[in-house]
């Protein structure tokens, strides 16, 4: 956990208990860009996030609460400008809601632990799922898989 999380009492990579705190508490706990995406359902501009072109092996966590959301092996290269995944890390890691804002019929995806807005899921992804989870980089924390790196080193 880095120092930017020190104001965040709910952040945990291991506690899967549901988080339900007020927007006021979230405002204190989160940096303003994360709050804007997570609680105000904002969208970062395409090709500006830190993970749309990110290829390291590891795990993506919810930046608001630490819940594991995606594995790098569920990520694929998409030209849309946001990090794109074809499957979440587990079934319960994400929840879904219909979103008919801006005159579009879309499906919103939220963190299964704290209900932070993550992005949307579309049905134009690659096999095996055919899904494209289009996620804001701002709401993701990435942790490199350490074990794999060590294995690669010992091989040399």
To which H or E segment does residue 11 belong? none
Q: Are 83 and 75 in contact (CB under 8 A)?
A: yes
Asked whether position 111 contacts Zn ion by CB under 5 A, the answer is: yes
Q: Single out the segment in contact with Zn ion by CB under 5 A; choices: 2-10, 84-92, 115-123, 147-155.
A: 115-123
Asked whether position 65 contacts Zn ion by CB under 5 A, the answer is: yes
Asked whether position 113 contacts Zn ion by CB under 5 A, the answer is: yes
Burial environment of residue 147 by CB neighbours within 10 A (0 to 12, 13 to 18, 19 or more): exposed
Among 64, 109, 118, 131, binds Zn ion (CB under 5 A): 64
What gap in Å lies between CA 105 and CA 99, rounded to an integer? Answer: 6
Site for Zn ion, rule CB under 5 A: 62, 64-65, 67, 111, 113-114, 116
Catalytic residue positions, numbered: 134
């Amino acid at each position: 956990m880095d120092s930017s999380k020190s104001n965040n009492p709910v952040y945990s990579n291991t506690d899967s208990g549901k988080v339900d705190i007020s927007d006021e508490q979230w405002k204190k706990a989160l940096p303003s860009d994360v709050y804007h995406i997570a609680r105000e359902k904002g969208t970062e501009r395409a090709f500006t996030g830190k993970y749309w072109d990110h290829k390291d092996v590891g795990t993506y966590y919810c930046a608001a609460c630490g819940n594991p959301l995606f594995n790098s092996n569920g990520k694929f290269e998409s030209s849309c400008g946001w990090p794109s995944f074809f499957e979440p890390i587990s079934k319960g890691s994400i929840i879904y809601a219909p979103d008919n804002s801006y005159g579009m019929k879309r499906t919103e995806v939220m963190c299964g632990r704290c209900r932070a807005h993550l992005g949307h899921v579309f049905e134009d992804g690659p096999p095996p799922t055919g899904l494209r989870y289009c996620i804001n980089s701002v709401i993701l924390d990435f942790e490199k898989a350490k074990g794999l790196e060590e294995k690669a080193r010992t091989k040399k």
